[in-house]
Structure 1
């Protein structure tokens, strides 16, 4: 009984946090803020091609939500590796190493922020985006399936990872970032990967606990932080695909199999960072699919989330 009461209380607090972060400072007046720069930190959801390609169908279009968001302000988002200000990198975890694919050299989100702050600073008109958690949940599930982590410990670690991402959000604000856009994780039980491994219940719980830990820990940052609900939006894609132009919400459109553990979900799996228009299911229209691979979204799904992000931000700042 006590545990159930505590969980209900935490969920209520998380919902209240989301409402506060979405509403504080909002208005119906078009935003007057014109950002000087759009700076991005995060994982594969935000990676615009740190190693030459993004985690989606690499078709030469605007490939993810951060880039789509930036277009509304006439800005571009390029990876640091190409001289830009997007530090986000596929498979990056929040503070743990190695990454989801077992690579110890991938900068964590914490290290990405370290890198920025070591030589740069924020201006009052910078927009900063940060996403994280997907790689932590993938790495944790690998440990569960290997028998080295219990289901209960996995859920607890997922919530802690949300708290850890919140600590990095707080760090950005403390360093002078006044417009921080935060995306957590979507419900990975909805992903083709989650369905294929038969762990929907555990992934749903872990995803929810991650977002709960994140939201409860940033509830007091409403003046500087806008939360954008990736879980809500992917749920819309999956539950009502036709409303968003999709016909398939549970199959990966890419066929780019990676002999290695490319996205952390095992060897011999589709890795969308290897995907182009030449490596799609026969006859498939990629714009009709939600998922590029077992975890990551197609360009259309990414762009629509970027549009939603702009809609949330423009009435705020």
Structure 2
């Protein structure tokens, strides 16, 4: 079977070419490996059903490169879906939305809805963007296994499932190891169709309402999403989930003549604290919850391949590391218990072991238990953290990159900046009514800036864009147009006065310093390059001290590094004056970021560092891998991004409305909105980094 190195650009390009030609390609995501075909080609999608032996009325997940890519398949993205996308994309969340008429009929299983996901795996991202550049709007990709088999988490697993003609893009072991969470957004309330790595409480916080369970909302319905059938995750072997005491007792009373004399055991044990007899096939469950989730599917597949007929799995322990606070962990289904209860061992033995035994679960419940187990283990996390930080307020400091307009803005010098309600210094979305016609207003929830994405994640809105219709929005923006590091103290003082101080449940964000770099750069060449670099570094050090002081007042703080200013359209244009200038601007940014980092008193408890510089630089240096047409020019034809709008798509009865983008630019294929502000994709990337840091910092 051809296996391509997913980290080699030429291999990714070849895989994209095959997809564009209607061929199948297996590719990695952060969850499991997918079997991909271009979603807009029903004949190509039919090859997936044929290869897997999967019923054609079972819908497939369509993978897109970014939120903008969802527009090709969605008839509409309701506010609920937009909030979830902003909070969790790219990542292991699939949203079910109404399908755009005439597209992806086969991928949707003939249903009027469609499942969309934006994977976070870098190889998947590179493939999707390369394919998009060849005209492939999205890739239908169920797990790359035969129908009803355990999902693959390694390239070798895929090779064991299909014939030698299938191309596999090898991206290494999948990081998560279980499949994506699926939420139905087509109903009056969100419905959890399939549990996955994302904790229920995080989804509910981003959605702004409680999730309904599929059993309650979809009784009697045809499957609306992959993985909702009882047999979807089933290995061939029978599974029994047992508490450690029950497993230990069962092994103690297991007759010796039931054990194999040498190899070939029909019974296997997957346990963490119980040591089975040496002649039994056994795998040890990792002590770390995330590691156990990561290897679960892989272990089941290996045991299947060894021909075992029964697998005894030790129930994960109670305790904060495995059952952290939150609904997702505490709602894990429990097997019935009985006294006494016969255990049908599957090795020609019947026994009774008393109260410690666990009733053998039905196949459907066993399967759902294992899916839930995977979700619980990964969701609850590992390490020393015992509870999730859940801010009650989101306080935004900084410059124009963190501003959402409620109308005309006042800059830091008292001047007026003309702006429409909901406008951001990025590419803005035009609002449409129920018919798809533009209303003339802006849709502030679409194409959110990074602090909005963070707010969506925690269910927090702002007065300027009150997504959750809170009477008193819990988010407050103090960031100002044109602000420099010296202006941060005034912003903090105003926030302190408004709320009477800061609390440990406050999350403050800071992105500032661009103006300091530009002000110092304006003194070049009157001042030498070394002198303006030193000015930038000093500003970064001052910012670090200000962040320390804010954290000491009680708030938890997320501060982001700055993208290299030499990579902005402004910076690139400076080379027309003299060739060293963009490099100088980049060096100034590096020293600013370094000065700030060196000064931060950051042990992870009070301050989280969002490293936007490294991620944006990766995109700048590898644009084609991420589907960018330009990483050096502005997408907007307007002087500044605050008045920049994307076009509306229109419908068959409502004409499209042009935006203010330059010819050839879209929301997703240009990195920069204007000469110094990131576009919607860049903002989304920083938002994802901020969410990840907020979730994983101990706080």
TM range, smaller chain: 0.7 to 0.9
Paired residues for 1:102-117 under 5 Å: 108-117=487-496
Q: Higher mean Cα deviation, 112-121 or 242-251? A: 242-251
TM-score normalised over the length of structure 1 = 0.76
Report the alpha carbon displacement of residue 39 of structure 1 after superposing the two structures with TM: 0.9
Distance 2:636 2:464 in 1: 23
Partner residue, 1:131: 511
Partner residue, 1:303: 684
Partner residue, 1:154: 532
Partner residue, 1:292: 673
* Structure 2 residue 548 is matched with structure 1 residue 170: yes
Contact 1:31 1:314 in 2 (8 A): no
Report the alpha carbon displacement of residue 242 of structure 1 after superposing the two structures with TM: 4.0
Q: Could you say what secondary structure the match of 1:143 adopts?
A: coil
Report the alpha carbon displacement of residue 35 of structure 1 after superposing the two structures with TM: 1.3
Distance 1:43 1:31, change over 3 A: farther
Report the alpha carbon displacement of residue 47 of structure 1 after superposing the two structures with TM: 1.6
Paired residues for 1:1-317 under 5 Å: 27=382, 32-49=388-405, 51=409, 52=419, 53-59=423-429, 60=443, 61-78=446-463, 85-95=476-486, 108-120=487-499, 121-144=501-524, 147=526, 149-177=527-555, 179-198=556-575, 199-257=581-639, 271-277=640-646, 278-317=659-698
More strand by proportion, 1 or 2?
2
Distance 2:572 2:632 in 1: 8
Distance 1:296 1:164 in 2: 23
Report the alpha carbon displacement of residue 283 of structure 1 after superposing the two structures with TM: 4.1
Partner residue, 1:15: none
Report the alpha carbon displacement of residue 298 of structure 1 after superposing the two structures with TM: 0.5
Report the alpha carbon displacement of residue 250 of structure 1 after superposing the two structures with TM: 1.3
Report the alpha carbon displacement of residue 77 of structure 1 after superposing the two structures with TM: 3.6
Residues 213-254 of structure 1: CA distance to partner in whole angstroms, max 9, x if unpaired?
101101445321010111011112212234444332111100
Distance 1:33 1:220 in 2: 17
Give the number of aligned pairs: 263
Structure 1 consecutive aligned stretches of length 4 or more whose deviation exceeds 3 Å: 26-31, 77-80, 219-222, 242-245
Q: Could you say what secondary structure the match of 2:477 adopts?
A: coil
Report the alpha carbon displacement of residue 211 of structure 1 after superposing the two structures with TM: 0.8
Q: Could you say what secondary structure the match of 1:85 adopts?
A: strand
Distance 1:37 1:240, change over 3 A: same
Q: Could you say what secondary structure the match of 1:286 adopts?
A: coil
TM-score normalised over the length of structure 2 = 0.36
Distance 2:627 2:461 in 1: 26
- Higher-Rg structure is 2
Distance 2:645 2:543 in 1: 31
Report the alpha carbon displacement of residue 312 of structure 1 after superposing the two structures with TM: 2.3
Distance 1:126 1:62, change over 3 A: farther
Q: Could you say what secondary structure the match of 2:485 adopts?
A: coil
Distance 1:314 1:244, change over 3 A: farther
Report the alpha carbon displacement of residue 48 of structure 1 after superposing the two structures with TM: 2.1
Distance 2:570 2:675 in 1: 4
Distance 1:312 1:174 in 2: 19
Distance 2:564 2:488 in 1: 20
Structure 1: tracts of 5 or more residues without a match: 1-25, 96-107, 258-270
Contact 2:602 2:608 in 1 (8 A): no
Contact 2:612 2:689 in 1 (8 A): no
